[in-house]
Structure 1
Amino acid sequence: MTPGLVIFDCDGVLVDTEPTTDRVIAENLTRHGLTIAPHEIHTLFAGGTLKAVGEGAAARGARLPPDWLENAYAEVYAALRAGVNVMPGVLDLIDALEDAGVPMAIASNGPLQKMEISLAASGLWNRFAGRIYSAYDHAPKPDPAMLRHAMQVAGAGPDTTWMIDDMPAGWHAAAAAGCNCFAYVAEGGPARAAGFAATPVTAMSQIAAAFRV
């Protein structure tokens, strides 16, 4: 099976930003009156936008100033600049797809500035240049708009397009766009993707094997 396009989510698929982001936001919200642990941030808000996190936190009693979103992003960016790890096996998968001539793109609910910070050190930002799509320019997943835009730009049909995402928002977006999906569930295992129209995988090597690259 040779795909016509592979679309990667960013956080939790390409780079391991989520532990840092969850910690920073938990500390921030605690200062604003909502005592919450990093794992609760992940459970409640993973896969969404930081704006949605703020809205959800305010609904739970956080007292957020008008400039909260701007300041929260500044805190997250500062922490990410200290360095994040690339997810295991993803560079090998990208190398294999490039060698096979398979087009690739990124579709993330995060802003471009955050992706540039988290992807630059590994060289992934430059490798995907011009094919990085953000929910700050398109409707956020689970809306399929970003995936449809990526397919249109690449000239790929949904039947040969594969999304790789670690969150239900991405799995729903892939289903709504009519494309195929790998649910990357290294954390939580295949049961986490039960009931979704996505193929669960726990290692990037499984995806490479499925693509035969």
Structure 2
Amino acid sequence: MILPELNSKKYPSSICSDGELKLVIFDCDGVLVDGEHLSTAQMAREARKYGWDLTDEEAHRIFTGGELAKIGQQIAQKTGKELPADWDMMMQRRIVNMMKTDAETVDGAEDMLNSVLAMGLPVRVGSNSSGAEMEAKFASTGLDELLEEDRIHSGRDLEMPKPRPDIYLHAAEQEGVSPEHCIVLEDSNAGVEAARRAGMACVLLRPLDKDAPEWPGLLRIGHLSEFPVILRDILKQQRASHTVAA
């Protein structure tokens, strides 16, 4: 899983045999909760209402990982229509209400979380979703039983959405660890860019036949069941390296 040439002189310490993995940070949508298609379908309906002939799948490709305010700007620019000043807040309320009943976990998310927690690794969540939206998603899927509320961080609420690195840097700061000792699990290009800019290692969850950002050291998986395998391999190599060093 871990390439033998990875070393902490060139890559983040968290994924290197001579480094240390101290914190795992998860994105929410597309990684833990399968709510992104529901949200972007809402955006597609709004786009069509204002005159943008956009399919649900096109909206998913265009809007995934995006900030609501900027999505509203895209719709307004594309259609030439003026959206309500509180459009993003209105959409946020709709999404939260929808997630209370319709959110589902990504396939394998609960088992994956249990496996990571069993390794004794601290975990946090860093998402562009609002805190209210994540609370609804985690409550309706049961993931709130595994994720502590004070370990869930919202880029929207903190006004520092991805691809800015701030939400991931904030999570590391709250844990009291250096960014280079963190690994992020992401599914969007914006999230990968946020991790890269934060100086963190990143694993991309995406079908392996799909395009991915060109980033040296970016690890890829096609299913969540592969993520604990990567972490175990990292920890095994790091323990072996530290034993030799001692």
Q: Deviations over 1:16-37 (max 9, x none)?
A: 0011112122112212232211
Contact 1:141 1:173 in 2 (8 A): yes
Counterparts of residues 133-148 of structure 1 (less than 5 Å):
133-136=153-156, 137-148=158-169
Contact 1:138 1:145 in 2 (8 A): no
TM-score by length of 1: 0.91
Flag structure 1 segments of 5+ consecutive residues without an equivalent.
none
Amino acid across the alignment from 2:49: R
2: distance between equivalents of 1:27 and 1:179?
36
Correspondence 1:64 to 2:80:
no
2: distance between equivalents of 1:138 and 1:79?
23
Counterparts of residues 86-125 of structure 1 (less than 5 Å):
86-125=105-144
Shift of 1:190: 5.1
Residue 229 (structure 2) aligns with = 209
Amino acid across the alignment from 1:80: M
Correspondence 1:52 to 2:70:
yes
Residue 152 (structure 1) aligns with = 173
- SS across alignment from 1:110: coil
2: distance between equivalents of 1:161 and 1:70?
32
Q: Deviations over 1:180-211 (max 9, x none)?
A: 0001103xx35422413421111112111111
TM-score by length of 2: 0.79
Report runs of 4+ in structure 1 exceeding 6 Å deviation.
Answer: none
Residue 35 (structure 1) aligns with = 53
Amino acid across the alignment from 1:101: G
Task: Select between 67-76 and 202-211 the one with higher mean Cα deviation.
Answer: 67-76
CA RMSD of aligned residues (A): 1.9
Correspondence 1:165 to 2:183:
no
Contact 2:100 2:140 in 1 (8 A): no
Shift of 1:102: 0.6
Q: Deviations over 1:115-172 (max 9, x none)?
A: 1111112232352310111112141111111111111111222332100010011111
Residue 83 (structure 1) aligns with = 102
Asked which structure has the greater CA Rg, the reply is 2
2: distance between equivalents of 1:158 and 1:123?
29
Aligned pair count reads 211
State the identity as a percent.
Answer: 28
Residue 175 (structure 1) aligns with = 196
